[in-house]
Amino acid sequence: MEQEKITEAVKQALEKSQQRKFSESIDLAINLKNLDMNQPQNRIDEEVILPNGIGKPIKIAVFAKGETAQRAKGAGADYVFDPDEIAVLGEDKARAKTLAEEVNFFISEAAYMPAIGKTLGQVLGPRGKMPIPLTPDKDIVAIINKSKNSVKVRSKDKMTFHISVGRKEMDPQKLSENIAAIINRIEHRYERGLYNVRSIYVKTTMGPAVRVV
């Protein structure tokens, strides 16, 4: 769709939003149609890279050891857990839940995915935070850098879902480019493209919604 139309909707949402004493996020409300969300193939659960980032630090946790762990630390991972700590986290449900809420993306060497699924799956799974598997052919630094500019787009089984695409203080043009990346991904996700989208609205955290699509 036209970039100008998206930018205009963003500007309207910003203009209609009152000044707050905290930094508001810019959110999309996406409403789908003519899809059976009981069918897993119709659900969206993926990462989308935003061309201008989310406007705030993205927290990343990595399960790895040896050289991979050192490279993860060097790339700016907020937490690097030795695989031996997986069982400890599994027993400390309160800490595991705190991490699941605080961390945006988890990454794990593929060998430890079964242990994570067994001990932390009940905490991470429902939140859409199961780790990105790090297979031998992938570079941990590249994955971390990608995740720092990504958002999780996850509909679950709902026809309506929300995504944060930036912060209120970001430039409207950059926000509109982020939104375009989300819309483009949804359009290519379904065979009928935007015909499966009833509407898309943009709004600040506390502000009124403005229709984009």
Q: Which residues pair with 202 in a beta bridge?
A: 28, 210
Residues 50 and 65 in one domain: no
What tokens appear for 175 in the block?
Answer: 């926000």
Computed over its alpha carbons, how large is the radius of gyration of the chain?
18
What tokens appear for 122 in the block?
Answer: 């009940």
Question: What is the model's pLDDT at position 19?
Answer: 87
CATH code of the domain covering residue 180: 3.30.190.20
CATH code of the domain covering residue 110: 3.40.50.790
Q: Of 51, 71, 56, 44, which is closest to residue 152 (Cα–Cα)?
A: 44
What tokens appear for 195 in the block?
Answer: 């015909």
Q: Which of 128, 147, 166 is the last residue of a domain?
A: 147
CA distance 89 to 92: 5
Q: Which of 120, 147, 174 is the last residue of a domain?
A: 147
Exposure string for 6-38, b = 16+ CB within 10 A, e = fewer: bbebbbbbbeebeeeeeebbbbbbbebeebeee
Residues 96 and 114 in one domain: yes
Residues 8 and 42 in one domain: yes
pTM of the predicted model as reported, rounded to 2 decimal places? 0.84
CA distance 114 to 129: 15
Question: Tokens 């970039």 map to which residue?
Answer: 3
Question: Which structural domain range is residue 117 located in?
Answer: 60-147
Question: What is the model's pLDDT at position 1?
Answer: 67
- Name residues whose C-beta falls within 8 Å of residue 139's C-beta, 6 or more positions apart in sequence: none
Residues 115 and 193 in one domain: no
Residue count of the chain, please give it.
213
Q: Which of 107, 122, 147 is the last residue of a domain?
A: 147
151-209: pLDDT as tens digits: 999 999 999 999 999 999 999 999 999 999 999 999 999 999 999 999 999 999 999 99
Q: Specify the number of domains making up the chain.
A: 2
Beta-strand (E) ranges in 71-155? 79-81, 105-109, 132-134, 150-154
86-141: pLDDT as tens digits: 999 999 999 999 999 999 999 999 999 999 999 999 999 999 999 999 999 999 99
CA distance 36 to 58: 33
Residues 51 and 155 in one domain: yes
State the DSSP H helix or E strand holding residue 91, giving kind and residue range, or none if neither: helix 85-91
Question: What is the model's pLDDT at position 2?
Answer: 85
Residues 116 and 12 in one domain: no
Residues 65 and 50 in one domain: no
Residues 78 and 24 in one domain: no
Residues 67 and 141 in one domain: yes
Q: Could you count the other beta carbons within 10 Å of the beta carbon of residue 147?
A: 22
